[in-house]
């Protein structure tokens, strides 16, 4: 990503197909129209949603991947989808290519969402395959012995992908049950000479639990195949014993043919769309060694540096450091990657609920931003945690307000430069950016307070600027449900609102009202 770049997630989970906010046009068309505005606002890259056909066709957000090579150009009528639609939720392939072209001509990079953990929407006419049921909360616990669904059983599911509409265009690889590790929805089970429907009453667990979903792990590859045994993949999260399985038909990266096909697809996608990078979905469920192999292959084959950010959901940073090490410091061809800062996002959420009881310095501890800032991609919210998706994860307040975003983006590109000095107390923290580097307009002080509203807090900060005046540039505060930008002399601060002087050692007392952020700029420094 560019220096101080900003990646824009150009979709959300509940965005209606051809939403009115998009002028009732497909998202790709709207994105093309907005390319110049995004660039002007300071956006340097756009993260586009999964651009390939999902099980849900036109209504699919895109994470239920059916055909990685269908960018909205094949009529899926004869497959499992509703008739007569080439397009995905976001439009068709031509509209996607036009949008990307518009972004690039405005100097905005394009990062694709890479969903390679699983596939959905295959046909049922596939083989029975040997499997064993494993416990959902301990994937290493296999249900052996002599009982219902114990030991080796044969199961059948939606695992056949023949893509007969697309045929062999772009790839002749056809998927079936042998290319997967596990699934959680079976249509038939065969055990001890009896066969029954997976969805029938006999499918109920002996405990009578109908709601629980099971996981069926496939045991073997085809006769003569090396390796002959299947297993959950290595170098995945060890939560639940082994967190290879997430959903759908879990892809088996233990197989050479599968690894090659998905690498080939990555290379094809970069060339076909003219991508600049990736956001890789669900990496804690995919072998880290394979991600290194995949990223290395695609970078080498396309001769592009391809900025890559991985989505690894974790509350703490230890698994993130382990992951970064495994991908970027292990193996013959280590690959640089960035990681989304989920620990920081979870702290933001907690802070939003706890108000003044939250110790603000905690935001700067145990986060990737604090521990490995060069590789941290920070964010406030995303499609998985937005309101309505996960009630436990939502923020207490939903900020909006374009002025506020515009100001932050501009300050970031013009002032968030040079050395960073940080000062903290329980309810007030402040950062100084020193400037003194190419492109910097001067020194900036940003102060955040979570004290009760209406009170004024202050924090002593050394600025490195002796006997220097800083002026109050703006305060960002919540007002009538929106974040607003209060500019100029700020009445709450009375006579002191206009300026703060540093002393002969460069130290000054910077102010912020409770539950606001205030921005102070060095005298004569001007934001454009």
Q: Which residues bind Ca ion (CB under 5 A)?
A: 117, 181, 233, 244, 250, 252, 254, 285
Smaller CB distance to Ca ion: residue 96 or 280? 280
DSSP code for 213: P
Smaller CB distance to Ca ion: residue 141 or 422? 141
Compute the distance between CA of residue 112 and CA of residue 339 in angstroms, rounded to an integer.
15
User: What torsion, rounded to 10 degrees, do the Cα atoms 331, 336, 342, 348 define?
Assistant: 150
Q: How far is the CB of 115 from Ca ion (least distance, A)?
A: 11
Q: How far is the CB of 505 from Ca ion (least distance, A)?
A: 56
Compute the distance between CA of residue 201 and CA of residue 436 in angstroms, rounded to an integer.
72
Q: How far is the CB of 265 from Ca ion (least distance, A)?
A: 16
Compute the distance between CA of residue 71 and CA of residue 275 in angstroms, rounded to an integer.
14
Q: How far is the CB of 180 from Ca ion (least distance, A)?
A: 8
Compute the distance between CA of residue 416 and CA of residue 422 in angstroms, rounded to an integer.
13
DSSP code for 234: S
Smaller CB distance to Ca ion: residue 119 or 285? 285
CB atoms within 10 A of CB 193: 5
Q: How far is the CB of 280 from Ca ion (least distance, A)?
A: 12
The structure tokens 């307040």 sit at 397
Smaller CB distance to Ca ion: residue 285 or 515? 285
* Cβ 27 vs Cβ 51: under 8 Å: no
Smaller CB distance to Ca ion: residue 254 or 464? 254
Smaller CB distance to Ca ion: residue 285 or 297? 285
Secondary structure string (H, E, C) spanning 436-479: CCCCCCCCEEEEEECCCCCCEEEEEEECCCCCCEEEEEEEEEEE
Concatenated DSSP letters of 82-149: PTT---BTTB-HHHHHHHHHHHHHTT-EEEEEE--SEE---BS----EEEEEE-SS-TT-B--SSSTT
Token pair of 259, please?
């690894």
Choose among 76, 103, 120, 89: nearest CA to 27: 89
Terminal C-alpha separation, the chain: 23
Smaller CB distance to Ca ion: residue 11 or 129? 129
Compute the distance between CA of residue 280 and CA of residue 37 in angstroms, rounded to an integer.
26
Q: How far is the CB of 456 from Ca ion (least distance, A)?
A: 52
Q: How far is the CB of 247 from Ca ion (least distance, A)?
A: 9
Q: How far is the CB of 198 from Ca ion (least distance, A)?
A: 21
Catalytic residue among 113, 281, 341, 513: 281
Token pair of 379, please?
């964010």
Concatenated DSSP letters of 345-358: HHHHHHHHHHGGGS
Q: Which residue is nearest to Ca ion (CB)?
A: 254
* Cβ 299 vs Cβ 306: under 8 Å: yes
Angle, helices 93-105 vs 256-273, to 10°: value is 60
Smaller CB distance to Ca ion: residue 117 or 367? 117
Token pair of 47, please?
């993260």
Q: How far is the CB of 290 from Ca ion (least distance, A)?
A: 9
Catalytic residue among 79, 113, 289, 311: 311
CB neighbours of 477 closer than 8 A, spacing ≥ 6?
483, 484, 486, 513, 515, 516, 517
Catalytic (active site) residue 281: yes
Task: Kindly list the catalytic residues.
Answer: 281, 311
């Amino acid at each position: 990503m560019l220096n101080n770049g900003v990646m824009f997630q150009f979709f959300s989970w509940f965005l209606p197909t051809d939403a009115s906010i998009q002028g009732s046009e497909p998202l790709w068309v709207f994105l093309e129209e907005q390319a110049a505005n995004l660039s002007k606002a300071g956006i340097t890259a756009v993260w586009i949603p999964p651009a390939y056909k999902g099980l849900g066709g036109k209504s699919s957000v895109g994470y239920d991947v059916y055909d990685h090579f269908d960018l909205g150009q094949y009529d899926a009528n004869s497959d499992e989808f509703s008739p007569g639609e080439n397009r995905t939720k976001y439009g068709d392939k031509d509209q996607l290519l036009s949008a990307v072209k518009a972004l690039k001509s405005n100097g905005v990079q394009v990062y694709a969402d890479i969903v390679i953990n699983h596939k959905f929407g295959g046909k049922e006419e596939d083989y029975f395959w040997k499997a064993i049921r494993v416990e959902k909360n301990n994937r290493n616990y296999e249900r052996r012995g002599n009982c219902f669904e114990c030991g080796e059983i044969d199961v059948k599911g939606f695992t056949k992908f023949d893509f007969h509409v697309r045929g062999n265009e772009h790839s002749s690889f056809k998927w079936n049950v042998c290319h997967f590790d596990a699934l959680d929805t079976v249509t038939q089970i065969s055990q001890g000479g009896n066969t029954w429907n997976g969805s029938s009453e006999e499918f109920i667990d002996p405990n009578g639990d109908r709601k629980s979903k099971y996981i069926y792990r496939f045991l073997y590859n085809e006769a003569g195949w090396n390796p002959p045994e299947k297993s959950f993949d290595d170098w995945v999260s060890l939560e639940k014993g082994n967190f290879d399985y997430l959903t759908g038909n879990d892809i088996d990266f233990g197989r050479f043919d599968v690894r090659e096909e998905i690498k080939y697809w990555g290379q094809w996608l970069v060339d076909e769309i003219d991508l600049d990078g990736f956001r890789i979905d669900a990496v804690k469920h995919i072998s880290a060694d394979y991600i290194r192999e995949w990223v290395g292959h695609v970078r080498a084959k396309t001769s592009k540096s391809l900025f890559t950010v991985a989505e690894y959901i974790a509350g703490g940073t230890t698994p993130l450091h382990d992951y970064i090490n495994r991908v970027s410091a292990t193996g013959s061809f280590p690959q640089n990657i960035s990681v989304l800062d989920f620990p920081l996002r979870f702290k933001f959420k907690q802070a939003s609920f706890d108000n003044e009881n939250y110790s603000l310095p905690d935001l700067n501890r145990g986060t990737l931003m604090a521990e490995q800032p060069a590789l941290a991609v920070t964010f406030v919210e995303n499609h998985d945690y937005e309101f309505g998706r996960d009630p436990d994860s939502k923020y207490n307040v939903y900020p909006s307000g374009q002025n506020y975003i515009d100001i932050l983006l501009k300050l970031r590109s013009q002032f968030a430069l040079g050395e960073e000095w940080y000062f903290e107390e329980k309810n007030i923290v402040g950062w100084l950016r020193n400037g003194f580097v190419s492109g910097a307009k001067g020194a900036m002080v940003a102060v955040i307070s979570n004290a009760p509203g209406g009170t004024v807090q202050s924090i002593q900060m050394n600025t490195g600027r002796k006997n220097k005046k800083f002026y109050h540039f703006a305060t960002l505060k919540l007002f009538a449900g929106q974040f607003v930008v209060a500019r100029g002399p700020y009445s709450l601060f009375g006579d002191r609102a206009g300026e703060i002087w540093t002393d002969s050692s460069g130290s000054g007392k910077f102010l912020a009202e409770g539950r606001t952020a205030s921005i102070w700029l060095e005298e004569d420094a001007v934001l454009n």
